[in-house]
Amino acid sequence: MKFIDEAIITVRSGNGGAGCVSFRREKFIEWGGPDGGDGGDGGSVILRADQGKRTLVDLRRQKIIIALNGTAGQGRQRHGKNAPDQIIDVPPGTIVTNADTGELIVDMTQSGQQYVVAQGGMGGRGNKRFATSTNRAPRHAQPGIAGIELRLKLELKLLADVGIVGLPNAGKSTLVSSISSARPKIADYPFTTLNPSLGMVQPEFGEPFAVADIPGLIEGAHDGTGLGIQFLKHVERTGILIHLIDASQIKPESPLNEFNLINRELALYSDTLAQKEQVIVLNKIDITDTDSKVLAFKDAYIKEIVNKNRELLEITDKSLPQIFTISAATGKGTQELIAFLAQKINKQNK
């Protein structure tokens, strides 16, 4: 379930401001002497690990990041202004290397960690600094030290925030391609997906999140049947599960069969999977004659919840899990699903 989110950027720290050559000139002061101030320091480029960031998508858009230069010194021993540092927020777990040499620069492992990746140039000294007993009127000052420029490669090994589980042909790969930029292979036969397909989803509000379809599970997957535990072990590492069901294949006489089959396989593999939060999504509602099947599923699901919670005197609509109905092929209902997932993920990361 790991994939590499990459960005290559150019960073440039600011130049130091030049020192000033100046002499004090005031009425009634015949020998004023040198009074040139120092230049200000250029801004540094600093990497900072921010727990609120989950992807490098912003840095794939902003290719060049430049810190400001320090300002020059002035007369009357006035020093130039130091430039502010340029902070680049990256997700924890970002590995930073020199894009030209491949040399490892830093591994941003801890939230709040900071690293100066490009030090700003120092400001030059003004001529006041060069005055000595033998040279009381120096007529030179230092130029500022130039900043440095680097090409950085940033790599983030991500775990998917959302994993999509379901039987083969439930439409998992289609859903990934519908809500993200990923383009997995899609066809109408079992086990089309032999590897997880991962994509980045950009909700209308909030941070982007990673979604992955888990290759089709079948009965006996926990024992290795089909693709089996090859991918079940990865499902544990996702934040939320979308349980995707092909609404056109729901049997009105036993509408929860496929739903319970997948949940049974997850539970037999580990307690962690059995307790992981699920979002139930009924797909392919664009196919004719699915309305009655969707209603049959919802009615059966509500009855099952009531039977499991007989001690509750009252079960309201608010206490029932939300069931989404979508068509991944046409996009119907997917925006509501994206907004719901983004809200859930943001709450988890707070």
- Which residue is it, tokens 């729901």? 250
For the chain, state the CA radius of gyration: 31
Phi, psi dihedral angles at 112 (to 5 degrees): 90, -10
Whether the pLDDT of residue 338 is over 50: the answer is yes
Both tokens of residue 107? 């591994």
- Cα–Cα distance measured from residue 185 to residue 206, given in angstroms and rounded to the nearest whole number: 29
Whether the pLDDT of residue 139 is over 80: the answer is yes
Please give the pLDDT value at position 185. 53
Portion of the chain with pLDDT greater than 90, in percent: 45
Phi, psi dihedral angles at 147 (to 5 degrees): -70, 180
Beta partners for 8?
153
Q: What is the mean pLDDT of the chain?
A: 83
Please give the pLDDT value at position 196. 59
247: DSSP letter: G
Confidence of residue 19 (pLDDT cuts 50, 70, 90): very high
Beta partners for 216?
none
Please give the pLDDT value at position 221. 40
Confidence of residue 11 (pLDDT cuts 50, 70, 90): very high
Over residues 45-58, mean pLDDT:
87
Residues 6+ apart with CB under 8 A from 175: 164, 213, 242, 244, 281, 283, 326, 328, 334
Confidence of residue 1 (pLDDT cuts 50, 70, 90): very low
Domain residues of the chain, as ranges? 2-157, 160-348
Please give the pLDDT value at position 97. 96
Spell out the CATH class of 2-157.
Answer: mainly beta
pLDDT in tens, 271-282: 777 788 889 999
Of 271, 168, 258, give the one whose Cα is nearest residue 213.
168
Phi, psi dihedral angles at 128 (to 5 degrees): -60, -35
Residues 6+ apart with CB under 8 A from 173: 184, 185, 186, 192, 193, 197, 213
- Cα–Cα distance measured from residue 64 to residue 11, given in angstroms and rounded to the nearest whole number: 6
- Cα–Cα distance measured from residue 38 to residue 56, given in angstroms and rounded to the nearest whole number: 39
pLDDT top residue among 72 and 258 = 72
Q: Which CATH number fits domain 160-348: 1.10.357.10, 3.40.50.300, 3.40.50.1820, 3.50.50.60?
A: 3.40.50.300
Over residues 121-134, mean pLDDT:
93
Beta partners for 46?
87, 116
pLDDT top residue among 228 and 136 = 136
Of 83, 53, 305, give the one whose Cα is nearest residue 200.
53
Whether the pLDDT of residue 194 is over 50: the answer is no
pTM here? Answer: 0.57
Whether the pLDDT of residue 264 is over 90: the answer is no
Confidence of residue 190 (pLDDT cuts 50, 70, 90): very low
| 44-58, 309-323, 331-345: range with highest mean pLDDT | 331-345
pLDDT in tens, 102-125: 999 999 888 899 999 999 999 999
Whether the pLDDT of residue 223 is over 60: the answer is no
The helices-and-strands tally (H runs, E runs) of the chain is 7, 14
Phi, psi dihedral angles at 90 (to 5 degrees): -130, 155
In this structure, are strands 149-159 and 2-12 parallel, antiparallel, or unpaired? Answer: antiparallel
Q: How many C-beta atoms lie closer than 10 Å to residue 181's C-beta? A: 10
